[in-house]
Amino acid sequence: MATLAVSATETAVTGLRTTFRRAGHGSPLLLLHGWGGSSRLWHYTLRDLADRYTLIAPDLPGFGSSPPLGGRLSLERLADWVIAFADALGIERFAINGHSLCAAVAIHVAARYPERITRLVLTSFSTFRDERERRIVASIHHLMALWLALRRPWMLDVQPIMRLVGKRFFYRLPADHAILRETFADFLAMEQRTALETARGAGSPTITAA
């Protein structure tokens, strides 16, 4: 399959620089990456669907190359940011595919702005159904906080760690080593407050309410 060259570009959203990737022609499809990732995670999707859609994949605030939002984060606030991002690009109506954490964000976008959404796609999404599952999610959040405290830039040069983390983000590890390395670099560099607050919000009961 032919290689599609997609470079990152920038726009201003609510006064903050936002990095995003864009490819293809057709009806707009907004791609929202999951927790700890960036727009790089959509590399193969951008390649495979570029002949059918205009694909737009932003680095959410505090992830990838986009700076964090100030103040307290919530799924609702991120949903509002997504609409502000679409407005900055002049996109009125669009389909949206949210992965993992951003599947929850996408749900809120569709619930808060139904007139803007043509189609909603949720990938690798789950939430807790009862108190037992809520405790499991809470314990996972504690482990996330520990990992965030332990991560160090030198881990980028330790192949076993990079591959271990990569398996949490990819169904299959990419054949292109550069993509895996860049994705792991994004994971190591994500802003800590953003990472913790969005991880806690991913299991919020407001998701089912939306």
In a domain? residue 157: yes
* pLDDT tens profile 165-189: 777 666 677 777 788 888 888 888 8
Distance from C-alpha of 16 to C-alpha of 97, rounded to nearest angstrom: 23
State which residues form the domain around 160: 8-209
In a domain? residue 110: yes
Distances (CA, A) of 115 to 71, 97, 140: 28, 16, 35
In a domain? residue 38: yes
Domain count, the chain: 1
Distance from C-alpha of 4 to C-alpha of 76, rounded to nearest angstrom: 34
* pLDDT tens profile 44-89: 899 999 999 999 999 999 999 999 998 888 899 999 999 999 999 9
List the CATH number of the domain containing 178: 3.40.50.1820
In a domain? residue 1: no
In a domain? residue 162: yes
Whose CA is closest to 141, among 189, 184, 183, 202?
Answer: 202
In a domain? residue 2: no
